[in-house]
Amino acid sequence: MPSHDMNSFQTVLRSSKHIIAIAGAGLSVASGIPTFRGAGGLWRKYDAMSLATPGSFRRDPSLVWQFYHYRREVALKAMPNPAHLALASFSLPQTRALIAPDSTFTLITQNVDGLSARASQQVQSAQPQFLDVPDDTQTKLLEMHGRLFDVRCTSAKCGHTEFNTTSPICASLAGTELAIAAGDADHAIPVVDLPRCSECGALARPGVVWFEEVPLHLDVIENLVDQADLCLVVGTSSTLYPAAGYASEVQEHGGTVAVFNLEHSAGDEEADFLFLGPCEETLPKALGLTSVLYS
């Protein structure tokens, strides 16, 4: 049975040396980003997951681009919340030195909204007096399912990828982000008017990892999972693989697992610690960062 005792969790945290966090859609709920389950799981009359496949894009790139354009527009208006900021602060060696001395930390997120990266920039810039400390947070955030604002060429010969936060990403998608209700019609946008590669002009696609596609950074992640002695599982239903398998791997080699979720999620009865509630409240507290974030 998992413990709900925050003090004994912080005792484990203090003595942990190789810490990872696995995050999901629940991390960004407080920032206004819908999850993949429940009400958030639907966009127009479509199941969000059914649109995130190579097959859907092949069959109807206009529809899939309208789906991702909508998510880009939502993410552009969103701000990192206290859970993002807590994880970003904990990524800073100088902050972690006070909470878990001589430890390493990596955030492995399934989210493609870019809010964890923005939180890192935010906490970095808020720490000018430490500028002389080497900035290694880059490797401290692994977006294993890609990024909404990466745009990739579909031509295998070219493969050009660029980070593009242009809004709208192209004229033909302008306004389509307003049509999200189940009954709203799909505009059939001609493929020539969809986002094109800025290098070769071929059709471009969102730089995210679709179902049946191999996630990013798998080798680095598997290494981190093998080394980890503490795994924080934050705001994920733990139903999507390979991400959903990492926590039990950490436990198998004697590591500790702590789950932070609004409600029960797959496998949480096996966890060592379980903190039910909004992670934007529970995580800053658990990481002892409440004062840092709200000062």
Catalytic residues: 145
Binding of ligand BV8 by 237 (CB under 6 A): yes
Partner in contact with 149, chosen from ligand BV8, Zn ion, none, beta carbon below 5 to 8 Å by kind = none
Residue of 142, 128, 289, 114 lying closest to 206 (CA atoms) = 114
Residue with tokens 């991390």: 27
Residue 246: exposure state from Cβ atoms within 10 A (0-12, 13-18, ≥19): buried
Q: Please tell me whether 183 is known to bind a ligand.
A: no
Would you say 160 or 285 has its CB closer to Zn ion? 160
Rounded to whole angstroms, the Cα distance separating 138 from 136 reads: 5
Q: Please tell me whether 177 is known to bind a ligand.
A: no
Would you say 68 or 70 has its CB closer to Zn ion? 68
Report whether the peptide linkage leading into residue 168 is cis, meaning its omega lies within 30 degrees of zero. yes
Name the phi and psi angles at 210, rounded to 5: -90, 165
Partner in contact with 197, chosen from ligand BV8, Zn ion, none, beta carbon below 5 to 8 Å by kind = Zn ion
Q: Which of 20, 21, 22, 30 binds ligand BV8 (CB under 6 A)?
A: 30
Q: Which of 265, 273, 274, 293 binds ligand BV8 (CB under 6 A)?
A: 265
Site size toward ligand BV8 (CB under 6 A) is: 35
Cβ(189)–Cβ(169) under 8 Å? no
Question: Where are the alpha helices (H) located in the chain, listed in sequence order?
Answer: 6-14, 48-51, 54-59, 61-77, 82-91, 93-99, 115-125, 218-227, 246-252, 279-286, 290-294
Would you say 206 or 288 has its CB closer to ligand BV8? 206
Q: Which of 82, 215, 267, 284 binds ligand BV8 (CB under 6 A)?
A: 215
Question: What are the DSSP E strand ranges found in 85-211?
Answer: 104-109, 141-143, 146-153, 161-163, 204-208
Q: Please tell me whether 58 is known to bind a ligand.
A: no
| Least distance CB 127 / ligand BV8 (angstroms) | 26
Q: Given the rule CB under 5 A, which residues bind Zn ion?
A: 153, 155, 158, 160, 197, 199-200, 202
Binding of ligand BV8 by 52 (CB under 6 A): yes
Rounded to whole angstroms, the Cα distance separating 63 from 206 reads: 13
Partner in contact with 91, chosen from ligand BV8, Zn ion, none, beta carbon below 5 to 8 Å by kind = none
Spatial neighbors of 221 by CB under 8 A, at least 6 apart, are 108, 142, 144, 215, 246
The residue ranges that bind ligand BV8 (CB under 6 A) are 24-26, 29-30, 35-37, 52, 110, 112, 145, 208-215, 235-237, 239-243, 261-263, 265, 278-280
Q: Give the annotated binding-site residues.
A: 68, 71, 110-113, 153, 158, 197, 200, 235-237, 261-263, 279
